[in-house]
Structure 1
Amino acid sequence: MHSIKNKRKIQTEPAAIKAWTEKRYVYIELTDGRIIGFPADRFKILKNATDKELSNVELRLNGYALRWEELDEDITVPGIVAGHFQLTP
């Protein structure tokens, strides 16, 4: 029963269905319909990325992570939703 409870919790967290960048912002559209955006400069590696590198964002782990292969950078969607960023504005 414990594993079923954990499985339900995981399924209720919103995942991303789309990710894109625009004017140095990263945006995600979530399964619950919300769109969340944040400045790329809030993460060390993304802050130093070129616009082209930044635009190469991919969804991974069934929408629970963002991946920049060229930059070797991963950011979790639940972390973004919770407002967990590396750098202050």
Structure 2
Amino acid sequence: MDLSDTDIATANMRGQSLLATQPRALTARYDAGSGRIILDLTNGCLFAFPARLVQDLHGATDEDLAQIEVPKPGLGLYWPRLDADVYVPGLVAGIFGTRYWMASEMGRRGGTARSPAKTAAARQNGAKGGRPKKAVKS
């Protein structure tokens, strides 16, 4: 596929716009005490997130997480020991993995959550004999 000068100029303009508008990382470090990745962004902001929230970092050791690189121009983070890349603008937007993985994580966390309302409902159901048995189809 041959690109015209116009195609190349348009792509360059899109790239410059991306660099000007998207959050980019200057530095990144892992804080083992809090379990968070801490980013210094080009706009002067500091952004931190729990490393274990990220799909590709889930289950990684502290040693693996500490080996983090910020390739130029700062739109991504790279963990060489894990061979994992993460997109910085996505992290800042709260995207920590694929849509399917994030939904399953939300369901897993919600299912293990405890609250006074959930405890009271469980006790009420227990007083009634618990969950009704499913009908067996013959």
TM-score after normalising by structure 1: 0.85
What secondary structure sits across from 1:52 in the alignment? helix
Question: 2:18 is matched with which residue?
Answer: 10
What secondary structure sits across from 2:70 in the alignment? strand
Question: 1:51 is matched with which residue?
Answer: 62
Structural RMSD (CA)? 1.8
Structure 1 stretch displaced more, 42-51 or 2-11: 2-11
Distance 1:46 1:7 in 2: 28
What secondary structure sits across from 2:91 in the alignment? helix
Report how far residue 4 of structure 1 moved: 5.0
Distance 1:72 1:7 in 2: 25
Higher relative contact order (CA 8 A, sep 6+): 1
The 3 A distance-change label for structure 1 pair 24 and 7 is same
What secondary structure sits across from 1:63 in the alignment? coil
1:60-79 equivalences under 5 Å are: 60-79=71-90
Is there any run of 5+ residues in structure 1 with no aligned partner, and where? none
From the two aligned structures, give the one with the greater strand fraction. Answer: 1
Is there any run of 5+ residues in structure 2 with no aligned partner, and where? 1-8, 110-138
**Higher Rg of the two aligned structures:** 2
